[in-house]
Amino acid sequence: MTSWKETPLKVKSRKIFSPVLWFFVFSLLAALLAPMAGAGNPGAAVLSSELVPLPAPRYDSQFSLEKAIKTRQSVREYKEAPLSLAEVSQILWAAQGFTRERKEPPSRWNPKYEWQGGLRTAPSAGALYPMEIYLLAGKVEGLPAGVYKYIPKNHALKKVTDADKRKELCQAALMQPQVEKAPAVILMAGVYERTSYKYGERAERYVHMEAGSIAENIYLQATALGLGTVLIGAFNDAEVTKVLALPADEAPLIIMPLGKMPAPAEKK
């Protein structure tokens, strides 16, 4: 009669197998419990998702370009009504949306940055697109309050924070009330390094020219949608950067509150 004895092979197998087995057990439990963790939080899907898709923009309407140019104006007071996600989508597309695809980046593209893969609605020196567009959502149907960055290649939003920063941005913008009262605010931030990589010291001029083009696109698209906006350049740069937690290479350039136009009798 022989006594039972573990061979070196059995001992080695047991030592390896046990941790692997427990790893798969815990992974399975985590996968099963994950959906339950967000069940009581209506915003859980947005917070856990990398991108928030936007409705597809439209490329035609019955509102003529000539009429938009003639009736465009700066509007500082808005109805106390939320914006629709479709309206926000259209504004963001007009600001920096794709007009056609272009897989290869332009010559002298700074490899530090990702090429998004398309040409956009506003002209850009060398097609270098130094502008980043942020949305501060307060009252937008179907979109939780927070700060979002627009991602042109996906026509989607990426959440930066779930805090409503309109009041803080208003304080940084020298207490201009429309910044806090508007249901949503657009902020443009320029990345000069994308343009200076090719154009050197003239980059600052080109970036500012592009910011103006984008602002006019927003004005005209807002007018066609029955929305009001105003270009704001008076603010404390350092405070705005802090409020939005902007990356070190992004400089705030323009703030544009956005809301529904008041009735004619309400205009002042």
Count up the domains in the chain and report the number.
1
Given pLDDT bands bounded at 50, 70 and 90, which one contains residue 35?
Answer: very low
- Judged against a pLDDT cut of 70, whether residue 19 lies above it is answered with no
The type of residue at 69 is: I
Q: pLDDT digit string (tens) for 106-153? A: 989 999 999 999 999 999 999 999 999 999 999 999 999 999 999 999
8 A C-beta contact, residue 124 and residue 99: no
Q: Does 24 map to a domain? A: no
CATH of the domain at 204: 3.40.109.10
Percent of the chain at pLDDT above 90?
A: 78
First-to-last CA distance in the chain?
106
Q: pLDDT digit string (tens) for 73-85? A: 999 999 999 999 9
DSSP-based three-state secondary structure for 35: helix
- Judged against a pLDDT cut of 70, whether residue 98 lies above it is answered with yes
Dihedral-angle region of residue 122 (phi above 0 means left; psi in -120 to 50 means alpha; beta otherwise): beta
pTM of the full structure: 0.81
DSSP-based three-state secondary structure for 184: strand
Average pLDDT, the chain: 86
Q: Does 30 map to a domain? A: no
Q: Does 97 map to a domain? A: yes
262: number of Cβ within 10 Å: 16
| Closest to 228 (Cα-Cα) out of 268, 188, 174, 171 | 268
How far is the C-alpha of 96 from the C-alpha of 123, rounded, in Å?
10
Q: Does 123 map to a domain? A: yes
Q: Does 126 map to a domain? A: yes
Q: Does 107 map to a domain? A: yes
Q: pLDDT digit string (tens) for 182-192? A: 999 999 999 99
Cα 30 to Cα 35, 95, 122: the distances in Å are: 9, 41, 46
Q: Does 248 map to a domain? A: yes
Q: Indicate the helix (H) or strand (E) that contains 167.
A: helix 166-172
161: number of Cβ within 10 Å: 14
Q: Does 91 map to a domain? A: yes
Helices then strands, counting H and E runs in the chain, come out as 9, 9
**Residue 114: per-residue pLDDT:** 95
Dihedral-angle region of residue 78 (phi above 0 means left; psi in -120 to 50 means alpha; beta otherwise): beta
How far is the C-alpha of 83 from the C-alpha of 76, rounded, in Å?
16
How far is the C-alpha of 33 from the C-alpha of 79, rounded, in Å?
43
Q: pLDDT digit string (tens) for 49-78? A: 589 999 999 999 999 999 999 999 999 999
Boundaries of domain holding 207: 51-266
The type of residue at 156 is: A
| Closest to 256 (Cα-Cα) out of 55, 78, 58 | 78
How far is the C-alpha of 22 from the C-alpha of 30, rounded, in Å?
12
Given pLDDT bands bounded at 50, 70 and 90, which one contains residue 33?
Answer: very low
How far is the C-alpha of 144 from the C-alpha of 41, rounded, in Å?
12
Cα 25 to Cα 20, 36, 85, 176: the distances in Å are: 9, 18, 42, 56
